[in-house]
Amino acid sequence: MEKEALKFIQEQINYRFRNKDLLDQAFTQKTFAKENGWASNQVLEFIGDEVLDFYVTKILINRYGFLKSSERNLTSQEFDEFLTEKNIDESDLTEIKKSLVDNKMLAHRIELMGHLEEFLYLGKGATKQKVKDEMKTKADLFEAILGAIAIDSNWNQESLYNSVCAMLNIDFYFNNGFIKDTDYVQLLQQWYQKEFKRTPEYYYKELPGGFLYEGRFNRFSVEMRLVGDNNTYRDFQGLGRTKSEARYECAKHAYLYLEREGFLASIEDDCPKEEDLTIDNSINALQELAQKEWISMPEYIIPDKEVYDEEGNSRWECTCIIESENIERVVHATNKKLAKKYAAYLCICDLMGYKDKYDGTISF
């Protein structure tokens, strides 16, 4: 690998290799390896997959989990249990993790780091077929780089943690939501289940030989039919290099059609009603509104130190900001969690025109 390319890649992944051959191996696709007698990146990809799984889990737990003793002093009868923020359970963590580590996200990150796939070593056949442009190739490269870092650093935890954070840019997605074009299949399924109590049916067809369309060499076609009132229907089709890509394109066409025609839910449908909204479900409710792109991802600012009221009582401050709506709420409460919950609750009240059922007393 050329010196300038090596320097660029190492800057993007926040790691400097001692053994530069390992980085070369991470960029060696199996077709090139077979043609030239090199070792491919497949084993490194396996290692990187496990590294990614572990450190993303660690990051999520550090963000949403805590020991009870870190929040308050325990009585002699209490156990020091490990807890998560209310309304964040196993299924929530699984969905967040899935959004961070699926092939779409990993390929997206490879592109945003400067299209690192352009540095891949590809065999002649793979070059002709433009394999480097495929989502899975880019995702595999992401994992192979992490695998190479694991071996080169002798599994140094700090190095691996720092590279995962840098390569995924996790804080950005926590604060701003995940890439917007990843959820069309899921969003369409949610709408379909709500309307028809079942999931949409997709019909797959392989295209012999494939053909070039919209800058992609498409090998698969996926079709689905939306049936409306009085037996009316509309057909949608998606094309792609893989079945999943074709299904995504099909779902995207269908979902955008529903959006244009006004068939989708409004923010009122996705937000808890005034009587159902509480401080305990406010953080999760606000996050869901952001993930569904009704609002920008809320930002929470909590200073490191306590403040004191006029009577000398210690209080924690939290500021919740919804930039897209120009909404900002500052709350003081007896602990961080309560301050964050109430700030989120008040932001939803401002957003939806709800009355504060706690009338400010929750902050004391």
Contact 126, 41 (CB under 8 A): no
pLDDT confidence band for 101 (50 / 70 / 90) = very high
On the question of pLDDT at 340 being above 80, the answer is: yes
Alpha carbon 119 to chain centroid distance?
Answer: 26
Catalytic residue numbers read: 49, 143
DSSP 212-263: EETTEEEEEEEEEEEE-GGG-EEEEEEEESSHHHHHHHHHHHHHHHHHHTT-
Please state, in angstroms and rounded to a whole number, the distance separating the CA atoms of residues 321 and 297: 9
Query: What mean pLDDT comes out for the span 210-229?
Result: 78
pLDDT tens, residue by residue, 127-152 = 656 677 788 999 999 999 999 999 99
285 compared with 115, residue with greater pLDDT: 285
Please state, in angstroms and rounded to a whole number, the distance separating the CA atoms of residues 137 and 68. Answer: 43
Which range, of 235-244, 254-263, 276-285, 315-324, averages the lowest pLDDT? 235-244
**CA geometry: angle 89, 105, 175, nearest 5 deg:** 60
Q: Tell me the C-alpha to C-alpha distance, in Å, between residue 358 and each of 161, 283, 340, 345, 363.
A: 41, 16, 15, 10, 9
Q: What CA–CA distance (Å, rounded) separates 249 from 239?
A: 6
290, two tokens: 């952001």
The Cα angle at residue 237 between residues 231 and 239, in degrees rounded to 5: 170
The two three-digit tokens of residue 277, written as one number? 């909204």
- Whole-prediction pTM: 0.50
Domains and CATH numbers, the chain: 3-175 (1.10.1520.10), 183-260 (3.30.160.20), 268-363 (3.30.160.20)
- Written as six digits, the tokens of 73 are 């002093």
Cβ neighbours for 291, distance < 8 A, ≥ 6 positions apart: 177, 178, 297
With the C-alpha atoms ordered 282, 283, 284, 290, is the resulting torsion angle positive or negative?
A: positive
Q: pLDDT (tens digit, 9 = 90+) per residue, 7-39?
A: 889 988 989 999 999 999 999 999 899 999 999
